Amino acid sequence: MRAAVVDLGYEVPETLPDDGEFYAGVRAARGESPYLDPALRVIAAKGGTHVGTQCPTRKWPLAVTCVAGHEFITDFDRLERDRWCPQCTHNAPKTGTNIEAVAKQRGYECLHSENRVGKDGRSRKYVTLQCPVPSHEPTEVLWDNFNNPEKGGHGCSKCGRASAGNSKRNSAAAIDKRLAAVEMTLVGTYETMTAAAVFECRSGHQYTSTLKKLEMSKADARCPVCTAESYEDVELLDEYTPETDSVRTKLTWKCRTCGEESISTWRGMRIRKYRCGNRRCPGR
């Protein structure tokens, strides 16, 4: 008995391709167009027209005519990302004029704007602004953050820190309470909990840190000088001052067992398993 020959509506190649075009044609021949209605809704919302009856994939080419009469080829993926007529977009007013107007409305002066592509492949606009306060240096911010009232409209960092300092969270009473909790005394001025400031511990050691770091650190590791003095195997020979950087400043250490000196940062000595650099040291 002979098998019936069925017309599939498309030719089956000997070797099936891997680029997806063949399978898109299969879905089109079967009348499957799951993206046609969503694409038509987007086109109609923008005042455009489309005559085709198929859209089986997100990348299926669609011939569209915009409200200005421009004909162009697009697809559902571009429509979903709000990509419309290239001629209308090209002839639209430049964004820089809008940036200058918004910046001027808030009292800023737009010095420069540019688009940069990040590691994630997305293009973002950065603007360099001059603060209304002449003594403040120009600052660079994301345009989306500056032009977003819901996020506070980030602008000059110094003005932002001053504004945060006047809030209830950063009031003098709140700062005194938080300093008492970490058993530290503030030396100099305080801006915000993430801004560097000079602190003094109960033993009189002064160093630079942030209030947020102090609150996140354990009680026995807040003061770097007290931490170094608690080591039984090594002794810190250099003076630890507020200008010392715990991550980058090289310090001299002396092993209490063999007497050999070594060079390391405070953080490096903190995380080392054997603090003495001499491998033959009896204390290792």
Tell me which of 90, 123, 142 is where a domain ends: 90
The SS3 call for residue 14 is coil
Supply 205's token pair: 């050691």
85/114 same-domain check: no
Length of the chain: 284
The helix/strand count (H/E) of the chain reads as 11, 12
pLDDT at 93: 46
Residues 66 and 120 in one domain: no
pLDDT for res 3:
53
Domain range for 272 is: 231-284
Q: Which of 142, 108, 104 is nearest to 126 (CA)?
A: 142
Q: H or E segment at 253?
A: strand 251-255
Number of folded domains that form the chain = 3
85 and 129 assigned to the same domain: no
Do residue 100 and residue 84 come from a single domain?
no
Residue finishing a domain among 107, 135, 164: 164
- Residue 235's pLDDT is 93
Task: Look at residue 201 in the predicted model and tell me its pLDDT.
Answer: 92
> What is the end-to-end Cα distance of the chain in Å, rounded?
88
Q: Is 145 exposed, middle or buried (0-12, 13-18, 19+ CB in 10 A)?
A: middle
Strand partners, 5: none
User: Cα separation of 177 and 184, whole Å?
Assistant: 10
Q: Which of 111, 138, 164 is the last residue of a domain?
A: 164
Q: Provide the 3-class DSSP secondary structure of residue 88.
A: helix
Q: How far apart are CA 257 and CA 247, in angstroms?
A: 26
pLDDT tens, position by position, for the chain (284 residues)? 555 555 555 555 555 555 555 556 656 556 677 888 888 988 988 888 988 888 888 888 899 998 888 888 888 888 888 888 877 765 544 455 577 888 888 888 888 888 887 777 677 888 888 888 888 888 888 888 887 766 666 778 777 666 655 556 667 788 888 889 989 999 988 877 888 899 999 999 999 999 989 999 888 888 999 999 999 899 999 999 999 999 999 999 999 999 999 999 999 998 887 888 888 888 77
Residue 197 lies in a domain: no
The label of the residue with tokens 């009348």 reads 31
Answer whether residue 206 is part of any domain.
no
CA dihedral 166, 172, 178, 183 (to 10 degrees): 140
